[in-house]
Structure 1
Amino acid sequence: MNTSATIPLSGAGLGLRREMIDEVLRLKPAAIDFFEVAPENWIPFGGKLQKQFRQLTEQHRFICHGLSLSIGSPEPLDVVFVRQVKQFLRQHNISLYSEHLSYCSGAGHLYDLMPIPFTEEAVHYVAARVRQVQDILEQPLVLENVSYYAAPGQQMSEQDFTLAVLQEADCQLLLDVNNIYVNSVNHRYDALQFLLAMPSERIAYYHIAGHFNEADDLLVDTHGTAVIDPVWQLLAQAYQWHGVKPTLLERDFNIPHLSVLCEELNKIKALQQSSTDNLALRA
């Protein structure tokens, strides 16, 4: 059993991909304090891969970030899937499960994250579904602020919608710093103002990633490049305002050698240490 799961999550983490598993089993780099996985990518597999994964979860700290809960979908909640996730979390002694504040299914699977309308009606609808998930899981659900490229039927701001869902659902927040930056450019709002408006006490951890510049006024959240300086600066401001919390580096394609990813993880750690030192000086 992984007794480290009872210790509060901290430091810098990395999304574990199946192609990394052999290298990580041989020697986990010291820069990686925890791993994040999508349960959908591991639940279907048995045999050698499942044994290797179980070996890692018994030795290291893991959290889950889902892909297909579809919390804002017009279709009924997939209760069978939620129960599968619950079993997976318990099997691997994982205490944190996050998902996207969006939806990815309607009459079928959409294979993309779609924006939930920013309306009061949607707040009540999503919050009720979040509470249902939390009742089944018997643990908090952590919702991520997502990147979006259109806002159909918008009646309130992204900021107000996010805050309202968190409050009514009484759930936690995965604060994706890169998504704040991407949306601030695409939708012309103040990234720092959005960041500061988020409730510190609800933030479970942070995400940070790279994105693609389609045009000066259109950024695409790809997780396929290195993190850029303005996003690092926003992360440092998040630490100063909300406190130093666990931070996960996302990289989903154009994946470099693990040593290159560890350089970014070490930059996260350096920012965390600097912020901790600065906060201590103020105390």
Structure 2
Amino acid sequence: MHISARLPQLGYGLGLRVEYYQELLEHPQGVEWLEIVSENYMVPGGLPLVWLERFRERFPLAMHGVSMSIGSTDPLDEGYLSRLAALACRIEPAWISDHLCWTGVQGVNLHDLMPLPYTEEALAHVVERVKQVQDRLGRRILLENVSSYVSFADAQLTEWEFLAAVAERGDCLILLDINNIYVSAKNHGFAPLRYLDGIPAHRVQQFHLAGHEQGEALIIDTHDAPVASPVWELYAEAVRRFGAVSTMIERDDHMPPLAELLAELAQARALAEPLLRNAA
């Protein structure tokens, strides 16, 4: 099986959410691509797919899932992978991504993105499953770093070492969530720039930008607020290190007027483009 080594650079995009369907079609205003939540469209038919076909005619699409559970000890869900592959065949996305985490065990879906123990045993387990998924889909996948609120006493690697090793040994790509790096850095007391420095640039295919909430003891990745100033600063550092990487704004709750998300997207572009020109 041949897996393409290069994926397109799509520019600046948004997560496709039902609240913005009509307005995005009528007034895209600088939106160059859209990321869909895969599970929302893994259906045999109906209105969601009707809308999706309309967007497919107008925008490049990327598929982003939450249920692959690449780190679980359960067997890979062949039914899920079949539905994922069918959707990919239908809409021909630029890429497919999911999270470096586990979401269930013994058939129980926890409906959350649970962190992994960063051990050599877990690394070997995840790498083997990445290879199986990529063989099944016939393409490289992207894996995203999740926000973290607990750590494991027996960890043998840092989070960034684990992510980098999964990408290199599994020959997959990385969706780098800048907000999640910031959240985890604050929660666990590491320097976010150390994280960026530990990631192989040739594996980074996409950035996520999102908001968070300051809790009493921890910062929580909520996707319900604007991108915070320190996350913008970290994004600038990521652009300096990794160059032109497809970037999108994530919002999943407290949905604002579309104009507010478009303004954030314009801010990402205005921040990144001068850095890219200076590096050229």
Normalising to structure 1: TM-score of the pair? 0.93
Please give the secondary structure, in 2, of the residue aligned with 1:204: strand
Aligned to 1:3: none
AA paired with 1:127?
Answer: V
Q: What displacement does 1:111 show?
A: 0.8
Cα 1:7–1:59 shift into 2, 3 Å: farther
1:208-245 Cα shifts (integer Å, max 9, x gaps): 11000003x51000111001111101111111111121
Q: Which runs of 5+ in 2 are unaligned?
A: 1-5
Aligned to 2:238: 238
Q: Distance in 2 between matches of 1:23 and 1:63?
A: 19
Number of equivalences: 273
Please give the secondary structure, in 1, of the residue aligned with 2:219: strand
Aligned to 1:38: 37
Which range moved further: 89-98 or 15-24?
Answer: 15-24
Aligned to 1:179: 180
Identical aligned pairs, as a percentage?
Answer: 38
Q: Distance in 2 between matches of 1:114 and 1:52?
A: 31
Q: Distance in 1 between matches of 2:252 and 2:47?
A: 23
Q: Distance in 1 between matches of 2:249 and 2:62?
A: 13
After TM superposition, list the pairs within 5 Å mapping 1:206-221 onto structure 2.
206-215=207-216, 218-221=218-221
Q: Distance in 2 between matches of 1:20 and 1:182?
A: 27
CA contact (8 A) 1:58 1:92 kept: no
CA contact (8 A) 1:11 1:246 kept: yes
Q: Distance in 1 between matches of 2:203 and 2:141?
A: 11
Q: What displacement does 1:7 show?
A: 8.8
1:81-128 Cα shifts (integer Å, max 9, x gaps): 112111101201213001100010112101111111110000000000
Q: Which runs of 5+ in 1 are unaligned?
A: 1-5
CA contact (8 A) 2:213 2:221 kept: yes
Please give the secondary structure, in 2, of the residue aligned with 1:233: helix
Q: Distance in 2 between matches of 1:68 and 1:172?
A: 18
Q: Distance in 1 between matches of 2:59 and 2:142?
A: 21
Normalising to structure 2: TM-score of the pair? 0.94
Hey, which bits of structure 1, 4+ residues long, moved more than 6 A?
A: none
Aligned to 1:201: 202
